[in-house]
Amino acid sequence: MRKLFFFVLIALAATCTFTQAQTTDNNRNQRYFDINKNIDIFNSVLRELDLFYVDSLEVDKLVQQTIVQMLAGLDPYTQYFSEEDSGDLRFIATGEYGGVGALISQQRGGQVFISQPYEGLPADKAGLRAGDIILEIDGEDLRQASTSQVSSKLRGIPGTTLTIKIQRPGESGERTFTITRESIEIHPITYADVLEDNIGYLHFGSFTTNSSNEVKKTINELKNRGAESLIIDLRGNTGGVLDEAVNIVNFFVPKGEEVVSTRGKVRQWDRTYRTLNQPIDEFIPIIVLTDTGSASASEIVAGALQDLDRAVIIGNRSFGKGLVQMPRELPFGANIKITTSKYFTPSGRSVQALDYSHRNPDGSVARVPDSLTNVFHTRNGREVRDGGGITPDIIIPQERSGTIAFYLMAENVIFDFVTSWVQKNPTIAPPNQFRLSDADYEAFKQFVKSRNFEYDKLSATALNQLRSVMQFEGYMDVASEEFKALEAKLHPNLDRDLDLFKDDIRNMIESEIVQRYYYQRGVLMHQLTTDKAFEEAVRVLKDKELYRSILMPK
């Protein structure tokens, strides 16, 4: 009986295994059939359109738009790159391209202009300035061109030259420059220095290929200059190459530590990333600064150092991008960057804030509510949560400025004022000392009024919607006075708002001015003088007992 029972179990197990395998094969075959069926349908639709549609079709444009729209329904990070756009993908991965090294923008309904030449790169060395309006490149009139058209003319093979004609604001004549393109690589370290109490500070801008080598070099230089603790500023760093994040964590933790793991549909690609080398300094106190602009690889560094109780995180909750992309080659020189997996910090948590596979009826994607997040624990036993970025150990509330400040930037009002201001001021004080005078701010207010500046369209739209709802539901008669009072409060008042939000607007003007003289490095130096998160980081590093207590469970 025992033998018979044993043979029956074996037969049942074999039958179940066969059934599961058959089910898997059937599902796989059905999926292949569905893919091939839809490809045939798409091909047929395209052929029919090409043959019979009333107007001639731009086939390449139509198909590429279709691909982009299809991918947009997945997540923002799965992207298609045509052969012409392959340089954009290379720049994302390496931070390197062939060009002149300048950011360009476009006036509303107007011409393209230089918004920022990078320090020491061809455009800067040739003498181009922020505000220069681009008229021609190599004899081609670009007065009506878009930013993408101008960008394609500026980029090219390193070593080749271009001739650019510009109109500089405040000058009647035109200027012509000959510029030699270079291999442009944006340096990942924006600014680094040893500050008071032997605190080393570095702002790290991007995780591009080999950027960890620059971080390592900078850390060693800071230590050689006497740094006994570090502030690593990852605010605004949107991420990049995952391996670079692992390398940076390795600078501070022993060999063999888990930094991050990735898991996706293709199980063979699942991987656990561990530190491979001996650290630079396993004990130096570290503060990592994050904000809502810290994403992806920045969150890997912050999350790993937090989970391993190796650093105190200060600032605002990070963006919440816990997805990993992999580039794949396509026919005819095209590429696709596909989200292939999610990553998990050493404690096992995911930082992904949005679930793109479950959308709302209107197509939007909501953040995971805090009530549905899960608790994980750091090495010391501190509680950390998943589902929405890295939550700092010390949160510094992010101050909100009035919408007028946003519109002043978006409409280039501040930019144009600064362009005029710079022409009258050949030099300014050092970045950490420069302040805009009250007289200059009054001049700015007059400049704004001269532009017929309009703003706060969101409040006006909301008020109109509220009026319609109140009228529809019959409340306007009984609440008309209250509505009028609200309307008076929310209606844009230029004089009032320029004074009410003076501090925010003045800081924006000062940053734009400092950038013209001292580039992005100077902007950072200037902003640190009033940076509350930075001040808190310095305070914590000065108090060694406080620093240690933050890393222990409550």
| Phi (first) and psi of residue 419, to 5 degrees | -55, -45
H or E segment and range at residue 490: helix 480-490
Q: Measured on CA atoms in the order 421, 427, 432, 434, is the torsion positive or negative?
A: negative
> Is residue 347 annotated as a catalytic residue, yes or no?
no
* In contact, 414 and 508? CB cutoff 8 Å: yes
Helical packing angle, 480-490 and 457-473, nearest 10°: 170
Report which residue type is found at 299.
E
Query: Strand 140-141 to strand 394-395: parallel, antiparallel, or no bridges (unpaired)?
Result: unpaired
* Helix runs in 333-479, H state only: 403-410, 413-424, 438-450, 457-473
Cα Rg of the chain (Å, integer)? 28
Give the Cα separation of 326 and 241 in Å (integer).
Answer: 10
Q: Please identify which of the residues 307, 386, 393, 456 carries the catalytic annotation.
A: 307
* In contact, 434 and 526? CB cutoff 8 Å: yes
Q: Please identify which of the residues 124, 294, 321, 350 carries the catalytic annotation.
A: 321
Give the Cα separation of 337 and 473 in Å (integer).
Answer: 50
Q: Please identify which of the residues 212, 296, 341, 350 carries the catalytic annotation.
A: 296
H or E segment and range at residue 526: helix 502-528
> Is residue 153 annotated as a catalytic residue, yes or no?
no
Those residues with Cβ within 8 angstroms of residue 468's Cβ, 6 or more apart along the chain or in another chain: none
Q: 3-class secondary structure for 143-158? A: CCCCHHHHHHHHCCCC
Give the Cα separation of 118 and 184 in Å (integer).
Answer: 10
> Is residue 141 annotated as a catalytic residue, yes or no?
no
Measuring CA to CA, which residue among 517, 504, 523 is closest to residue 422? 517
* In contact, 200 and 194? CB cutoff 8 Å: yes
Measuring CA to CA, which residue among 305, 240, 252 is closest to residue 277? 252
Measuring CA to CA, which residue among 396, 425, 401 is closest to residue 512? 425
Give the Cα separation of 134 and 356 in Å (integer).
Answer: 40
- DSSP letters, 167-209, are E-TT-SSEEEEEEE-EEEE--SEEEEEEEGGGEEEEEE--B-T
Measuring CA to CA, which residue among 187, 273, 195, 261 is closest to residue 227? 195
How many CB atoms sit inside 10 A of residue 115's CB?
17
Those residues with Cβ within 8 angstroms of residue 421's Cβ, 6 or more apart along the chain or in another chain: 440, 513
Catalytic residues: 296, 307, 321
